[in-house]
Amino acid sequence: MYSVDPRRLLSIVCLFPKGSRQKRKPPRPQPQQTHRLNLSGGGGPPRRKTSGYARPQFNGPMELETLMEEGASPGPGSREGEAPTADDGTRVSLSNGDKAPHSHRSQQPQQEELNSAAAMKSNSDRPRSSLNLYLAACTVNMGALAAGCALTWSSPTLVKLESGETGLKITGDQSSWVGSLVTLGAAIGPILAGALLDRLGRKHTILLSMVLSAISWIMIGVIPSIVSLYLARVLAGIAVGVIFTAVPMYIAEIAEMRLRSSLGTLMQFFLVVGFLLEYIVGPYTSYLTLVIVSLATPVLCFGMFVWMPDSPHSLLIRPGGEQKAMESLRWLRGNPQETALIKELEDIKKSVDDSKKQKSGIGELFANKGNIKAVVISCAMVAWQQLSGINVVLLYSETIFLKTGVDLSASVSTIIVGTVMLVAAAVTPTLAKMTTMRMLLYISAIGMAITDGTLGLFFYLQNSGNDVSSIGWLPVTSLVLFIITYCLGFGPLPWAIMGEIFPGNLKSVASALTASFCWMLGFVLTKMFSMVCDAIGIHFVFWLFSVCCILALLFTAFLLPETEGKTLQEIQDMLHGRNKSGNLKMTRA
C-alpha cells in the first residue's frame, strides 16, 4: 500500500483551473462549407477570418500542390488564393484546371463591347487613301491628252501645208476645212458615245475612242492626199467627241464627293498638255515626226487605262455586275471601311435601279422641268465656253500671231501661250479645293471678257493705220491672260457640271447631246472665222467674244444652280424641286 504525500497531491490539483473540472457541454455542430479549392467538392473545416481575408483550407498537401501546378491565381483586388466574388457577394467555385479570371465574368461582355467600339472609332478615324482614285483619274485623262493633240495639230501644220513644205500643197479654203473638220467629227462622237456607254461600259467606250484616234494618225502619216486628210480629221474628231462625253462621266462616277471638283479639272490639265506638245514639237520637226509623236498618245492611254477598273455605276448596269462593282469601289477608295463601302455601294445600286425603272430615250430629256433645266444649263455652259473664242484661238493661234505683225516669232508666241495654259491648268485643281466652283467661273468670265476686248482693241488700232510697234507685247499678254482665266473656270467646269446634273438613266444621252451641241457650235465658229474676219474685221470678232463672256458672267450669277458639296441625288432633287423648300431656286453666290 502506497503512502501519498498531501503536499504533492495539493500541487497537482492546483495545475487545473476550476472550470476545467466542470463537465463540458458538447460543441454545436458547424454547417458544412464548400471552398473553391476543395476539389473533391466535400465539406471542410470552418475558416477563421482575419481582417476580411479568408484563409483557404486544404484537405492535404496534395491539393495545394495540384492547384499550384494547374495555375490557380487570385482575381483582381484579392490576395493570392482568394476566390472571385460574384455580383451577389457569393464566391465562385473553380473546376479543376481553371484559372481565376482577371475580371468579373459579368463585366467581360461590357468590356468586349467597349473594346469593339474603340476599335471601330480608331478605324473610322483612319484616313482612306485616294492614291488609286487619282491614278484612275490621271490614266483616263490620258485620253484628254490625245484629244488635245488632235485639236491643235492644225496650228503648226496648216502653215506647212499651205506653203507646200510637206509635199501636199493646199489652198486657204482647204486649210479651213482641215482645221474645222475635227470639230465636226467631235459633234458626231458624242452620238456614238451615247449609244455605246451603257452597252460597252465607260471603260471600253474610252478604249474604243483611242483605237479610232490611232487609226486617224496612221491615215494622216501614211496616205498623203487631201481626201484622206479630211477623213482622218473627221475620225480624230469622233474620238475627241467620245472622250469629251465619256471621261467626265467616268470621273463623276468614280470620284468621292469631296474630290469631285478637283478631279473634274484634271481633264483640262491633260488637254493642255496635248496642246503644248503640238505647239513645241510641231514648228521644229517634220510633218511625219509630229504625226508619230501624236500617235504615241492614244497608244499610251490604251496601254495604261486597260488595267483600270470600270466605274461601279457602269458595272451595276450590266447583269451580275454587283461583285465586280464592289471590287472596283474597294480598289478606288483605297483602304476602305467595309461598312462605309457597303453603304456607298447600296446608294449607287439604288440610283442605278431607279434609273433602270425609268425611260432613257432622248424624249425623256424634255419630259419634265427638271430634265429640261439640266439640258439648258449644260448646253448654255458649253455654249459660253465656245463663244469665248477658245477654239478659234487654239486652232488658229499661229495664224493669229502672224496677223499681229509683231517681231516675236509666231511659233514662240504659241509656245508661250501653251506653257502658261499648262501652268494655269495645273493650279486649277488646287484652287478648286480652296474656293467654290462659282467663284472660279466668275473670275474666268471677267478675265476672258477683258482679254478678248483688249485683243480686239489691238487689232482695231492696227487696222486703223496706227503704229502699234510700241505695244507689240499686248497680243501675247492678252492671249496669255485669256488662257489663264479660261483654264480657271470655263475650260474644265462646264464638263464637270455636265457630269453632275443629269440623272443616271439620261446621263449617256444627255452628255451626247450636250457635247454634240458644243462641237457643232465650235465647227461653225472655226469654219466661219476667216470669212467673218474678212467681212467685218478681226477686231470686231474678238469684241463679240468679249460680249459673250459678259453674258456668261450674268448667266452664272443668276441662273446657274449651286451644286457645290451636294451628292448626285441631292442635285436631282434640287433640279426637280424636291428639296426642303419645295421649289428650285437658282442660287446666287
Task: Classify residue 50 by its DSSP letter.
Answer: E
What is the mean pLDDT, run by run of 10 residues, along the chain of 589 residues?
Answer: 53 50 54 46 48 49 45 44 46 44 47 48 52 88 92 86 82 85 90 83 92 94 89 94 87 79 77 88 89 94 91 80 82 77 80 71 82 92 93 77 70 81 78 82 95 92 86 85 88 82 79 86 88 88 96 94 79 77 41
Q: Residue 249's pLDDT is what?
A: 84
Q: Which three cell numbers stand for residue 140?
A: 483616263
- 294 and 213 within one domain: yes
Task: Classify residue 54 by its DSSP letter.
Answer: E
Rounded distance between C-alpha atoms, residue 8 and residue 15, angstroms = 12
Determine how many CB atoms are found less than 10 A away from the CB of residue 108: 12
Instruction: Using the 3D structure, point to which of 308, 323, 341 is the last residue of a domain.
Output: 308
Q: Residue 12's pLDDT is what?
A: 52
Residue 87 lies in a domain: no
Q: Return left, alpha or beta for 41; rule: phi > 0 is left, psi -120 to 50 is alpha, else beta.
A: left
- 464 and 365 within one domain: yes
> CA nearest 488: which of 436, 419, 452, 453?
436
Task: Classify residue 461 by its DSSP letter.
Answer: H
Q: Residue 506's pLDDT is what?
A: 81
What is the identity of the amino acid at 559? L
Q: What is the CATH number of the domain that holds 206?
A: 1.20.1250.20
Residue 376 lies in a domain: yes
- 457 and 574 within one domain: yes
Instruction: Using the 3D structure, point to which of 246, 275, 308 is the last residue of a domain.
Output: 308
Rounded distance between C-alpha atoms, residue 489 and residue 442, angstroms = 8
- 289 and 429 within one domain: no
What is the identity of the amino acid at 453? G
Please tell me the total number of residues recorded for the chain in this structure. 589
Rounded distance between C-alpha atoms, residue 229 and residue 242, angstroms = 20
Q: To 5 degrees, how large is the angle CA 235–CA 525–CA 440?
A: 95
Rounded distance between C-alpha atoms, residue 543 and residue 136, angstroms = 41
Q: Residue 37's pLDDT is what?
A: 43
Residue 215 lies in a domain: yes
Residue 260 lies in a domain: yes
**What SS3 class is residue 126?**
coil
Rounded distance between C-alpha atoms, residue 380 and residue 547, angstroms = 15
Residue 151 lies in a domain: yes
- 556 and 407 within one domain: yes
> CA nearest 150: which of 216, 72, 89?
216
- 369 and 292 within one domain: no
Strands 53-54 and 49-50: antiparallel
Rounded distance between C-alpha atoms, residue 581 and residue 589, angstroms = 18
- 265 and 144 within one domain: yes
Q: Which three cell numbers stand for residue 199?
A: 452597252
Contacts for 116 with CB less than 8 Å, ≥ 6 apart: none
First to last CA, the chain: 136
Q: Residue 547's pLDDT is what?
A: 96
Q: What residues pair up with 44 in beta bridges, in sequence order? A: 33
Rounded distance between C-alpha atoms, residue 67 and residue 73, angstroms = 9
Residue 588 lies in a domain: no
- 375 and 301 within one domain: no
- 559 and 457 within one domain: yes
Rounded distance between C-alpha atoms, residue 28 and residue 26, angstroms = 7
**What SS3 class is residue 490?**
coil
> CA nearest 585: which of 577, 377, 567?
577
Residue 11 lies in a domain: no
Q: Residue 446's pLDDT is what?
A: 96
Q: Cβ(425)–Cβ(268) under 8 Å?
A: yes
> CA nearest 482: which of 456, 435, 437, 444?
444
Q: Which three cell numbers stand for residue 78?
A: 484579392
Place of cell 476672258: 448
Residue 460 lies in a domain: yes
Q: Cβ(43)–Cβ(34) under 8 Å?
A: yes
- 411 and 280 within one domain: no
- 517 and 389 within one domain: yes
CB burial of residue 518 (10 Å; 0-12, 13-18, 19+) = buried
- 370 and 446 within one domain: yes
pTM over 0.85: no
The count of domains in the chain is 2
Q: Residue 195's pLDDT is what?
A: 82
Q: Cβ(245)–Cβ(202) under 8 Å?
A: no
Contacts for 338 with CB less than 8 Å, ≥ 6 apart: none
Contacts for 446 with CB less than 8 Å, ≥ 6 apart: 485, 549, 553
Instruction: Name the strand (E) or helix (H) holding 53.
Output: strand 53-54
**What residues make up the domain containing 506?**
358-579
Instruction: Using the 3D structure, point to which of 275, 308, 341 is the last residue of a domain.
Output: 308
Q: Which three cell numbers stand for residue 514?
A: 450636250
Quick one: how far is CA 439 from the chain centroid? 21
